[in-house]
């Protein structure tokens, strides 16, 4: 039997008395049917529903019976972070650059936009946006662009090609004769 992993966002959606989940010490519990029989009262569980209740749970002494009952209510583990539905690779491809256009092209839901908002750490200034632009689909000629990327073209293939042709010429002219 495989263990299900739930993101904190998924757990947070189950916060009603008729659909209540909590996480404690990295485990996720469906407490919906337990709320009405909880010895400490319903209120504390309803207040904790949809959250990490570890601190609240640890602050109160629980019996061995409570720990046994927890095993019956356990439905999975809490993932360490919210998982991106498109996979980690999608995020890594866009890392370090302005990905606004790509984000909009996918057509993300309003939920995705809300989740993204909590990861926002700042805004790019216009100067940084210029450095992060994608290369145009129409490459410029080598003579019209003096950028460092253009210099790498020389280093990566044009210079070795020239040296190779020169080596063949030297071999044929001096050594083969």
User: pLDDT at position 145, please?
Assistant: 47
Beta-sheet pairing, 19-24 with 27-30? antiparallel
CB atoms closer than 10 angstroms to residue 163: 10
3-class SS at 4? coil
Q: Rounded to an integer, what distance in angstroms lies between the CA atom of residue 78 and that of residue 25?
A: 9
In this predicted structure, the answer to whether residue 23 has a pLDDT above a threshold of 70 is yes
- At 77-113, the pLDDT tens digits run 888 665 666 667 777 888 878 888 888 887 777 777 7
Q: Which CATH superfamily is domain 5-78 in?
A: Cytochrome b5-like heme/steroid binding domain (3.10.120.10)
What mean pLDDT is predicted for residues 123-143?
A: 56
**Highest-pLDDT range among 32-36, 111-115, 128-132:** 32-36
User: pLDDT at position 100, please?
Assistant: 81
Model confidence band, residue 133 (pLDDT cutoffs 50, 70, 90): low
Q: What is the reported pTM?
A: 0.48
In this predicted structure, the answer to whether residue 149 has a pLDDT above a threshold of 60 is no
């Amino acid at each position: 039997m495989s263990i299900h992993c739930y993101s904190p966002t998924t757990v947070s959606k189950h916060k009603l008395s008729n659909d209540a989940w909590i996480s404690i010490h990295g485990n996720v519990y469906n407490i919906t049917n337990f709320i009405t029989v909880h010895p400490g009262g319903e209120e504390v569980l309803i207040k904790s529903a949809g959250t990490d209740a570890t601190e609240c749970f640890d602050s109160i002494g629980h019996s061995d019976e409570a720990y046994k009952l927890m095993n019956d209510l356990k439905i999975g583990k809490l993932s360490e972070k919210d998982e991106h539905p498109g996979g980690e690779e999608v995020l890594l491809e866009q890392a370090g650059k302005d990905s606004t256009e790509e984000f909009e092209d996918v057509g993300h839901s309003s939920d995705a936009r809300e989740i993204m908002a909590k990861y926002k750490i700042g805004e790019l200034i216009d100067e940084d946006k210029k450095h992060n632009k994608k290369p145009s689909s129409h490459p410029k000629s080598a003579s019209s662009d003096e950028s460092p990327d253009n210099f790498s073209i020389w280093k990566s293939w044009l210079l070795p090609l020239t040296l190779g042709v020169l080596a063949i010429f030297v071999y044929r002219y001096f050594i083969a004769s």
